[in-house]
Amino acid sequence: MADRTLQTTAPGGKPAGRRPFDLKRQTGFSEIAWFCLFVLYAPIAVLIVFSFNDNRSVTLWTEFSLRWYRSALNNQGIQNAAMISLQVGAVATLVSTFFATLAALATTRNERFRGEGLVYAVINQPLMIPEIVTAVATLALFALIKQLTGVGGIGYLMLAHTVFCIPFAYMPIRARLEDMNLTLEQAAADLYATPLQVFRRITLPLMMPGIVAGAMLAFVVSFDDVIITLMVAGPGETTLPIYIFGQMRRGITPETNAVSTLIVLLSVVLVALLFFFGKRRR
């Protein structure tokens, strides 16, 4: 196998060491990177630009206008769908982050145990199984429960979102705990702090950036879910992504672009807050 390091020579002709292989210095790396960024962000840029188009067409520009934003904000269907998405996302975020935090503490603050790999697999199950399979299985289970109990409502949708959001919240929280040194927690215990005091004063503040990151990731995943929501949601439980999906069947309009742009703006705000919060914690 060809050597992937470069030999350098120090003054006097003696080898000075090897420079490690750097992918960024390879031929064509910059071009490929810029191409990937263009393919990734160009569609979003087009969507945002044409959301300000006065024409109803999403491909023919006429003049700048905010009419479609006013139309979207005054649309009762969009308002109701957005409110349902926020309610479901908030509940799913809070509950999934709580259980993800407990799971992360149990798998990082205890000695390794038999079956730990199985626990990881169970927690990350929604990430490994195709979403359509999870959606069909969830629909069948909830249909059986409704048949046996006669209980319905939006709680089933919230429960479904909570379950598949847990692994998304779990990953950053667990990563944060694994990066934390146990020295401060051990020192607090040596100073006769109770386990609850150690957790409240040491562990929780240090792991808070991971909790916030997990909560934001869980909220975004819940807010834009389509497949599971489409299967589980009942009458009057249309979320914003499902509403947009239904509108697209009748043709894409600048109003759809405006709503999508607002969702992009929400995502950018969440990422900015996460960055700012993490910087302050450091």
CA distance 185 to 253: 56
Phi, psi torsion values for 7, nearest 5 degrees: -85, 130
Looking at residue 23, its pLDDT comes to: 67
Looking at residue 95, its pLDDT comes to: 95
Please report, rounded to a whole number, the percentage of residues in the chain having pLDDT higher than 90: 16
Phi, psi torsion values for 108, nearest 5 degrees: -125, -20
Mean pLDDT for 164-186 is 86
Q: Per-residue pLDDT for 12 more than 60?
A: no
Judging by beta carbons within 10 Å of its beta carbon (0-12, 13-18, 19+), is residue 136 exposed, middle or buried? Answer: middle
Give Cβ neighbours of residue 56 (< 8 Å, ≥ 6 apart).
253, 254
Mean pLDDT for 83-90 is 93
Question: pTM of this prediction?
Answer: 0.79
Looking at residue 152, its pLDDT comes to: 80
Looking at residue 5, its pLDDT comes to: 44
Q: Looking at 55-59, 72-76, 151-155, 165-169, which range is the least confident one?
A: 55-59
Q: What is the pLDDT of residues 258-274, one digit of tens each?
A: 888 988 888 888 777 77
CA distance 279 to 50: 35
Residue that is written with structure tokens 């490994």 in the block: 128
Average pLDDT value for the chain? 82
> Integer distance in angstroms from the first to the last C-alpha of the chain?
43
Looking at residue 13, its pLDDT comes to: 54
Q: What is the pLDDT of residues 192-241, one digit of tens each?
A: 888 888 888 888 888 888 898 889 889 988 988 889 999 898 888 889 98
Looking at residue 3, its pLDDT comes to: 46
Mean pLDDT for 50-54 is 86
Looking at residue 279, its pLDDT comes to: 61
What is the residue type of 246? G
Looking at residue 92, its pLDDT comes to: 94
Q: Looking at 5-19, 138-152, 155-169, 212-226, which range is the least confident one?
A: 5-19
Q: What is the pLDDT of residues 59-82, one digit of tens each?
A: 778 888 888 899 888 889 888 999
CA distance 263 to 224: 9
Query: Bigger pLDDT: 239 or 8?
Result: 239
Looking at residue 16, its pLDDT comes to: 52
Residue 76 C-beta-side C-alpha neighbours within 13 Å: 0
Positive or negative: CA dihedral 272, 83, 51, 58 = positive
Looking at residue 1, its pLDDT comes to: 43
Strands 6-9 and 15-19: antiparallel
Q: Per-residue pLDDT for 111 more than 80?
A: no
Looking at residue 93, its pLDDT comes to: 94
The CATH code of the domain at 88-238 is 1.10.3720.10
Mean pLDDT for 45-60 is 83
Domain coordinates in residue numbering, the chain: 41-74+252-282, 88-238
Contact criterion met (CB below 8 Å) for 88 and 239? yes
